[in-house]
Amino acid sequence: MPYCGIERRGASSRRGKPIGLVLTFRAPAKINLTLEVLARRNDGYHGIRTVMVPLDMADELVIEPSNRFTFACSRSELEEESNLAVAALRALGDLPTVRMELRKRIPVQAGLGGGSSDAAAVLRAAMGGAFGAPGERDWMAIAHALGSDVPFFLAGTGALVEGTGERVTPAGALPKWHALVLKPPVSVSTADAYRAIDAIDRRLRPRNESISLALLEALQAKDFATVESLMQNDFEPVVCTRAPEIGAALDALRAAGASNAMLAGSGSCVFTLTPDRGRLESIGERLELPANYERFACAFDATPEWVK
């Protein structure tokens, strides 16, 4: 199962007898290499076309046997009632008798998909039998009901994502490229970002002119120059106007020598993509930003299921 990084170890009772297994699942962050926001649909949602890739920055989901369901998170504000990982469990039926701990490493409200990835990790755990026999379920439908980014995280690789997130075309094995991600000291509401983009006049690109389809082909060909030339995020102009800290982070990346710099998702994180680690480190060394701008040196996540 991609992304799970499953660690299994025996759990013991006070008498020292095994009572089950402790399972650890990885939940990776993502970045959008393109993000085309299309027209608002009759159901009120926007269509999108986007190419997303997973990063090796990841939350950890730990599941172990218990006599009742309990949940703990390293971020106290991400409580059980509003946590997508718990919502994913509830979507499967009655809560199982496990202790579930979420170790957050992905920044929140940052455009990196951390909550969606956590939910997908729970579904992956369920598909693997962590909560009993998985049964026959429409896993993609369950994922989509939880959030538009959740189906992507079931793909196990980068992917073209269309519709409202339910159409996922996997990219196959990914190149070993790198990303320097910056988190400005500001958060962005996705709903606010969509409202802002609705307020401007935009030319909606037909599918046969889509930069996302062209970038998917270049990504599969491991053609960095073409990928770089096609990177684009429709949210970036409106989000930068409303959050100058984001624009400052993009400017700092470019001043440090980044040949590309882009908003991640609807923000607030930004990133630059490099084909090798040395180039990433060179940009990082020249970067000039206040200490409250967090930095994350990442690589595209491994895609073992897609390697021939």
Q: Please, what is the end-to-end C-alpha distance for the chain in angstroms?
A: 16
- How far is 285 from 47, CA to CA, in rounded Å? 39
Q: Among this protein's residues, is 149 annotated catalytic?
A: yes
pTM of the model: 0.89
pLDDT band at 209 (very low <50, low <70, confident <90, very high): confident
Cβ–Cβ under 8 Å, residues 108 and 114: yes
> What would the pLDDT profile of 180-206 be if each residue is shown by its tens digit?
999 999 988 888 888 888 877 656 666
pLDDT above 90: residue 21? no
Q: Supply the CATH classification number for the domain 7-306.
A: 3.30.230.10
Residue 10 neighbours by CB under 8 Å, 6+ apart: 18, 20, 21, 22
Q: How do the domains of the chain map onto residue ranges?
A: 7-306
Give the pLDDT mean for 132-159: 95
Beta bridge partners of 163: 48
For the ranges 31-45, 103-117, 151-165, 260-274, the lowest mean pLDDT is seen at 31-45
Share of the chain above pLDDT 90, in %: 73
More confident residue, 132 or 290: 290
Asked whether the predicted pLDDT for residue 13 surpasses 70, the reply is no
40-54, 269-283, 287-301: segment of lowest average pLDDT: 40-54
Tell me the two tokens of residue 86.
């718990």
* Known active-site residue 222: no
Between 24 and 1, the higher pLDDT residue: 24
Active-site pick, 30, 118, 183, 301 = 30
For residue 167 the two structure tokens come to 């159409």
Q: Residue 64 pLDDT > 50, yes or no?
A: yes
- Give me the catalytic one of 59, 118, 149, 301: 149
Cα dihedral 101, 106, 109, 114 sign = negative
Residue among 107, 157, 120 nearest 301 (CA): 157
**Cα 230 from Cα 153, distance rounded (Å):** 23
- Biggest alpha carbon distance in the chain? 68
* pLDDT of amino acid 308: 66
b/e per residue, 77-114, with b = 16+ CB within 10 A?
Answer: ebebeebbbbbbbebbeebbebbbbbebbbbebbbbbb
Q: How are the residues of the chain apportioned to helix, strand and coil, as percentages rounded to the nearest 5? A: 30, 30, 40
Q: Which residue has the tokens 């608002």?
A: 40
Rounded to the nearest 5°, which phi and psi values hold at 58? -150, 145
